[in-house]
């Protein structure tokens, strides 16, 4: 029986975004504060995914051996290092989170049955590489606060309460929504970036955070005047709003994960949709 196991590891390192072929003004325009000398640091968290059959001892791999390999090939070399100088690969490509996840994958692949490397630069920013040439994903986590009411206007309060429970109360209720936006694309062989992070953050701010934050969704966001703002429909709407802006940045919207509460979340798998028209279609709401 094939099984994927994951091993976590950590290291602290610094890096700088700077291309010697560009002058100082060009580097600062391209990389912002990331171009500052001598650089900046992160506490990286690494998840290595490995696959295989479950053996007679109930294991895919001996995790003690896995730990030693990851330490020998990766963390002992990167911990408390300046990434730009530590590996030869970074003579040609910048040590972005995306590029670093790929190079870690490539360095572990001869020693372990690696299928994915997920690297967290921070709890709000991470990349994942699965061995597909220069393609990787980059995820950004942010949040907004909003109120909503779950109710179909053509139904009575009693009927809506049967469907939505307490969420149908007439004055609504609120959440601190957390959203994880994942984009996919080819890493630039020089900058190591899928997309300009500042431009991606700006697109999310413009198309999602500003229109949704501190609103009563049913009343302040025209879309939800006709569509019940369930977590599923909110996530779908975010995907609809971001699909074109992300494409203009040269990437592809991969996933939108919405966390409404610790007990309730949903994911829109944008690239797995049968057709792109699914993201453009209005949700169909059944009246019970």
Catalytic residues: 167, 214, 260
- Phi and psi at residue 237, in whole multiples of 5°? -65, -40
The residue behind tokens 């597909």 is: 132
What does the alpha-carbon distance between residue 186 and residue 22 come to, in Å, rounded to a whole number? 22
Instruction: Quickly tell me which residue has 């907004």 as its tokens.
Output: 144
Of 146, 147, 154, 149, the C-alpha closest to 285 is: 154
User: CA-CA distance, 11 to 76, in Å (whole number)?
Assistant: 8
DSSP 235-270: HHHHHHHHHHHHHHTT-EEEEEEEEEETTEEEEEES
Query: Which sign, positive or negative, has the C-alpha torsion 222, 225, 226, 231?
Result: positive
- Beta bridge partners, 145, equal 176
Structure tokens at 1: 């029986």
User: What does the alpha-carbon distance between residue 185 and residue 187 come to, in Å, rounded to a whole number?
Assistant: 6
């Amino acid at each position: 029986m094939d099984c994927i196991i994951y091993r976590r590891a950590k290291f602290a390192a610094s890096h700088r975004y700077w291309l010697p072929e560009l002058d100082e003004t060009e580097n600062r325009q391209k990389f912002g504060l990331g171009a500052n000398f001598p650089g900046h640091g992160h506490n990286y968290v690494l998840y290595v995914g490995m696959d295989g059959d479950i053996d007679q001892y109930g294991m895919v791999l001996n995790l003690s051996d896995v730990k030693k390999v990851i330490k020998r090939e990766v963390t002992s070399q990167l911990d408390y290092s300046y990434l730009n100088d530590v590996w030869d690969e970074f003579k040609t490509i910048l040590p972005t989170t995306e590029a670093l996840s790929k190079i870690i994958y490539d360095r572990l692949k001869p020693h372990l049955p690696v299928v994915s490397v997920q690297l967290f630069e921070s709890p709000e920013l991470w990349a994942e590489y699965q061995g597909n040439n220069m393609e990787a994903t980059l995820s950004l986590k942010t949040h907004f606060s909003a109120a909503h009411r779950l109710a179909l206007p053509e139904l009575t309060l009693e009927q809506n309460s049967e469907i939505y429970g307490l969420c149908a109360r007439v004055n609504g209720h609120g959440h601190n929504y957390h959203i994880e936006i994942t984009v996919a694309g080819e890493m630039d062989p020089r900058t190591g970036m899928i997309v300009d992070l500042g431009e991606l953050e700006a697109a999310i701010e413009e198309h999602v955070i500003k229109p949704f934050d501190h609103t009563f969704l049913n009343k302040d966001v025209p879309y939800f005047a006709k569509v019940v703002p369930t977590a599923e429909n909110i996530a779908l709407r975010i995907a609809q709003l971001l699909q074109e802006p992300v494409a203009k940045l040269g990437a592809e919207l991969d996933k939108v994960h919405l966390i409404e509460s610790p007990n309730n979340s949903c994911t829109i798998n944008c690239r797995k949709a049968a057709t792109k028209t699914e993201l453009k279609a209005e949700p169909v709401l059944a009246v019970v």
